[in-house]
A = this chain, B = another copy of it.
Amino acid sequence: MDRDELAGWLRLALTPQVGRGAARRLLAAFGLPGRIFDADAAALRDSVSQAQVQALQAEPPGLTDQVEATWQWLAQGEDRRVLTLANADYPQALLHTEDPPLLVFAMGQALCAPGPLIWPEGIAIVGSRNPTPQGALNARRFARSFAQAGWCVVSGMALGIDAAAHEGALEAGTADHGHTPPRLLTLAVVGTGLDRVYPPQHAALAGRIAERGLVLSEYLLGTPPLAENFPRRNRILSALARGTLVVEAAMQSGSLITARLAAEQGREVFAIPGSIHAPQSRGCHALIKQGVKLVETAQDVLDELPLAAAPTPGPTPDPSPPPAVTAGAPDDPLLQALGHDPVTLDALCARTGLDTASVLARLLALELEGSVARLPGGLYQRIARA
């Protein structure tokens, strides 16, 4: 992405009165942000209100500084990227949610590797910032077991359960030699700009997550910790995981919001029970009363969430078509046959009626074009791009 393209995306993100929904309508109508800002008022008026047209035609305050800061931040290393809705590496799991962010800021060693970024299969672990000692230990042990079983642990890098979950996932990496490139053990979805670590005492943890995973944020650089951003952040956290485990949670806590969002996104939700006298277990018990699965062991969770690399694809059907346009001829029969779930070569041959050699040749072309990604376990997956 060159500086102009980055500036276009940041301008779209910063334009007052134009929310993510309006921005996505504009992108659908005009393509990249540059074209939106080149368009005349009459054309824009087809997609947005008059007030929004006026907002789009004025340069938002602070844009120059934001572009400069972001450009400088990107220049600091290969381990940092801004993934736009138009980027092939933008996480599919977010594309399929109701309200995907325009931009995802990402930081981690995995971004230095060549080739497309393979987003891992995730299990989210969330919970109280003030857990019991046993709760924190449970989070760490479950996370380690998930990571050892090949899953990526998604959490929010907050104090308490979140930190314990990241730590547990990273522990699984100590015996994890010979993976090339190393698989992503953990994703931290944070609620501030990636140039700010919050809470500050997690600076070292953030560094270790970036070595064996990714730190992610939808917030522009410089965004401070704002209370209203954390619940919004949770929808990304839950979307990046196939299931969410609540380890300990008080009533009316952010973890219960995450659990609700996960359920709304069609994800599995799990909760660990505890003493009826521990306030930290009340939220988990409330979830279980509502039908959330009680789990006692990491295996209880894994039994409900087979890895997609296994022959059966994930249990969660895509609730809505991706809002982005797919590259390549959309009516390409192989793309049609791919659908949006990981698929084996055999299944593709069966679905298209083509022989293996023909399918492989066409898959390679689509891969080079960026429309298809090759996943571990001999699976192929379509990539949705703007």
Is A312 part of the contact surface with B, judged by Cβ < 8 Å? no
| Contact for A276 among B276, B277, B285, B296, CB less than 8 A | B296
Contact (Cβ within 8 A) A273 B297 = no
> Do A273 and B293 form a contact, CB below 8 Å, given A339-B133, A339-B134?
no
Is A272 part of the contact surface with B, judged by Cβ < 8 Å? yes
Contact (Cβ within 8 A) A276 B133 = no
Contact (Cβ within 8 A) A288 B273 = yes
Query: Smallest CB–CB gap between A353 and chain B, Å?
Result: 13
Taking CB atoms, residues of chain B closer than 8 Å to A377 are: none
Taking CB atoms, residues of chain B closer than 8 Å to A293 are: 289
For the complex with contacts A276-B321, A278-B340, A289-B294, 9 further pairs of A-B residues with Cβ separation under 8 Å are A132-B339, A132-B341, A133-B339, A272-B276, A273-B294, A274-B275, A277-B321, A277-B340, A294-B294
Contact (Cβ within 8 A) A135 B339 = yes
Taking CB atoms, residues of chain B closer than 8 Å to A107 are: none
| Contact for A324 among B277, B337, B341, B343, CB less than 8 A | B277
Binary contact track A270-313/B, C-beta < 8 Å → 1, others 0: 00111111100110010011000110110000000000000000
Is A373 part of the contact surface with B, judged by Cβ < 8 Å? no
Query: Smallest CB–CB gap between A348 and chain B, Å?
Result: 9
Bin chain A's interface residue count: 20 to 34
Most buried by B among A282, A288, A337: A288
With the chains together, A293 CA to B288 CA distance in Å? Answer: 9
With the chains together, A135 CA to B294 CA distance in Å? Answer: 19
Taking CB atoms, residues of chain B closer than 8 Å to A296 are: 276, 282, 285
Binary contact track A130-166/B, C-beta < 8 Å → 1, others 0: 0011110010000000000000000000000000000
With the chains together, A58 CA to B274 CA distance in Å? Answer: 59
With the chains together, A296 CA to B337 CA distance in Å? Answer: 22
Taking CB atoms, residues of chain B closer than 8 Å to A273 are: 273-274, 276, 281, 285, 288, 294
With the chains together, A343 CA to B288 CA distance in Å? Answer: 25
Contact (Cβ within 8 A) B277 A288 = no
With the chains together, A343 CA to B134 CA distance in Å? Answer: 9
Q: Which of A85-134 contact B (CB under 8 A)?
A: 132-134
> Do A337 and B133 form a contact, CB below 8 Å, given A138-B276, A276-B297, A294-B294?
yes
Is A25 part of the contact surface with B, judged by Cβ < 8 Å? no
